Amino acid sequence: MARDREAMQILRHYEDVPAGLRGGVAVLGNFDGVHLGHQAVFARTRDIARDAGAPLVAVTFEPHPRSFFRPQDPPFRLTPFRNKAHHIEALGVDLLLVLHFDETMHRMSAEAFVREVLVGGLDARHVVVGYDFVFGHNRTGDTAFLAAMGTQCGFGVTVVEPVRSERNGIYSSTLIRDHLRAGRPAEAAALLGRPFEFEGRVGHGNAMGRDLGYPTANLSFGEYLRPAYGIYAVRVGIERPDQLTWHDGVASFGIRPTIGEDEEPVLEAYIFDFSDDLYGLHLRFQLIDYIRPELKFDGLDALTAQIEDDCRVARRILAAAQ
């Protein structure tokens, strides 16, 4: 029986799936970015679940396996867990099963994953994966293996072929990262199907922006990929209980060379026509367009004049993007 649309449930243990969410249609993947290629896989899963009158279940892994195998790598995530969950919920998912990727999960064989997680935990009636999905210890499970196990264990398998962009070829998280590192957020947005977004809680800064007449909300990028240093036109979502409101603004991301280089890059966002206290609130930022690279100015007067110009440019960009 089809379920009424409810808020997505999130579980971290496949042994804990409630009876009402077992027997569903499961889509498997890391889904970093939840880009248009991923969305095509989710759309196919949603169609199968609707036709079967079954729950739609997404199965993903945290931390990202790349972080487990290469912990020394610089931050690379397009969508750390909280942000990824936001985008997955918007795709109509009933249950997000988040499997902890640790040594135990790494050493689980492909057959054990099917029997313990997909059959024992989810009792999946159908499984959907992208064309390049691999799983299990030493990546021994591929789409052909999954299909064979489905025949043996009694669940259907659908493999979604690659989805292509006319301009950029196959949708790819790697290509999106390349665009962001090169200061091309609009090109990244074309592959994501929405602007690149990150989120975090507002912390205390050095109040320099307020002294200059441009009070800013300051955030660290954390696990997120570092985009190109510079100035961006942004939209800022302010989360309050049961409310999310979006505002236009301009943001600087980098090491602030004019006032003394920071060891870690920081984002400072000035929200237009807004004066409320944001400290401690959770914000979501969308990078709409890149305005200019980060520069070092000869004093605060020159910096203030440039901020005024950046605000004018950002307002123009955001008005055109409405």
pLDDT tens series, the chain, 322 aa: 344 457 999 999 999 999 999 999 999 999 999 999 999 999 999 999 999 999 999 999 999 999 999 999 999 999 999 999 999 999 999 999 999 999 999 999 999 999 999 999 999 999 999 999 999 999 999 999 999 999 999 999 999 998 887 777 789 999 999 999 999 999 999 999 999 998 888 876 555 555 555 778 888 888 899 999 999 999 999 998 888 999 999 999 988 766 665 567 888 999 999 988 888 889 999 999 999 999 888 878 888 899 999 999 999 999 998 7
Least Cα distance to 58 among 77, 79, 33, 31 occurs for 31
Provide the 8-state DSSP code for 290: E
CA distance linking residue 167 with residue 175, whole number of Å: 12
- Per-residue pLDDT at 143: 97
Q: 129 forms bridges with which residues in the sheet?
A: 159
Q: Where are the beta strands (DSSP E) in the chain?
A: 9-11, 25-28, 56-62, 95-100, 126-130, 156-160, 164-165, 169-170, 196-201, 217-220, 230-240, 243-254, 266-271, 282-292
- Per-residue pLDDT at 3: 45
CA distance linking residue 320 with residue 310, whole number of Å: 15
For the chain, domains (ranges, CATH) are: 9-165 (3.40.50.620), 172-321 (2.40.30.30)
Q: Within 10 A of 143 (CB to CB), how many other CB atoms are there?
A: 18
Q: 141 forms bridges with which residues in the sheet?
A: 135
CA distance linking residue 11 with residue 117, whole number of Å: 13
- Amino acid 3 reads R
What is the value of pTM for the model shown? 0.89
- Per-residue pLDDT at 260: 62
Token digits of residue 321:
């993007």
Token digits of residue 216:
């800013």
Angle at 194 (CA atoms; ends 158, 78), nearest 5 degrees: 75
- Per-residue pLDDT at 210: 55
- Amino acid 95 reads L
